[in-house]
Amino acid sequence: MTLQRLMSYTRKAVDEYQMIEQGDKIAIGISGGKDSLTLLHALHGLRRFYPKHFDIEAITVDLGHPGFDLSAIRELCRTLEIPYTVVHTDIAQIIFEIRKEPNPCSLCAKMRKGALNQAIRESGCNKVAYAHHKDDIIETMLMSLIYEGRFHSFSPRTYLDRMDLTVIRPLMYVPEMDILGFYHKYELPVAKNPCPADGYTKRQYAKDLIRQIENENHGAKERMFSAILNGDISGWPKRVEYKRTK
């Protein structure tokens, strides 16, 4: 995927779900993976020509795992002239050494999000952009059906009133395969996840199941995504028809 194609996907999502307003200051949560680094490039490119001026800032929550090297990401942000903050925490030590959690992912996610939200408040940002892509949205819908018994998925734009913060997902139209292609084409400096619990998850199960369904029923994944967009899901904002500018 080229940068131009990434811009097209991003502009479509931002316009259809009114994700960005004049004067926004948007935090980008950088995990170190290909998705968040693609989002960094997407919003950096968009702000150069988007009619509504907005600022961006990158934030990484360092869980404290040994060997988590962020130097290449720091250099990328310097090159792109994007402010970059690394929040150093002892989350890994608390979970794996002190509490010895047998199922650490849920607690880790809560603690990581708490640290990220605190950094966002301190930075003065009014929005945070997450790097959930098209496949994430489909997988979340399937997990919701299987494990919760309801038709639901990530919302493109969500206002968190207790924090006075809006969550946006500008990569919602980008297929994961395109992000993988973007990663290879532009040699994104991914920081390898050193977490010892990084392994097979419910999300991976949903991903494998969707792959099997798509192989047996070509086009099924795209139809699932259309069902989500047209499903009048609770909490989703109204979609505005996107008109491509020449």
Cα separation, 216 vs 179, in Å, equals: 24
Flag whether pLDDT at 246 surpasses 50: no
Q: What is the mean pLDDT of the chain?
A: 93
Work out whether strand 157-160 and strand 84-88 pair parallel, antiparallel, or are unpaired.
Answer: unpaired
Tell me which of 116-120, 132-136, 194-198 is least confident: 194-198
When pLDDT is cut at 50, 70 and 90, the band that residue 243 belongs to is: low
- Give the residue-averaged pLDDT of 67-74: 93
Does 229 or 192 have the greater pLDDT score?
229
Sheet holding 165-168, edge to edge: 84-88, 54-62, 24-29, 127-129, 165-168, 157-160
Flag whether pLDDT at 109 surpasses 90: no
Structure tokens at 242: 């996107």
Tell me which of 91-95, 142-146, 158-162, 190-194 is least confident: 190-194
125, amino acid identity: C
What pLDDT was estimated at residue 102? 79
What pLDDT was estimated at residue 84? 97
- Give the residue-averaged pLDDT of 133-151: 96
91, amino acid identity: I
Cα separation, 42 vs 193, in Å, equals: 22
5, amino acid identity: R
Flag whether pLDDT at 72 surpasses 50: yes
Flag whether pLDDT at 47 surpasses 60: yes
Cα separation, 44 vs 60, in Å, equals: 17
Does 242 or 159 have the greater pLDDT score?
159
Domain ranges in the chain? Answer: 3-229
What pLDDT was estimated at residue 214? 97
Cα separation, 21 vs 24, in Å, equals: 6
- Give the residue-averaged pLDDT of 156-168: 93
When pLDDT is cut at 50, 70 and 90, the band that residue 67 belongs to is: confident
Flag whether pLDDT at 57 surpasses 70: yes
What pLDDT was estimated at residue 198? 64
Cα separation, 71 vs 5, in Å, equals: 28
Say whether domain 3-229 belongs to CATH 2.40.128.50. Answer: no
When pLDDT is cut at 50, 70 and 90, the band that residue 244 belongs to is: low
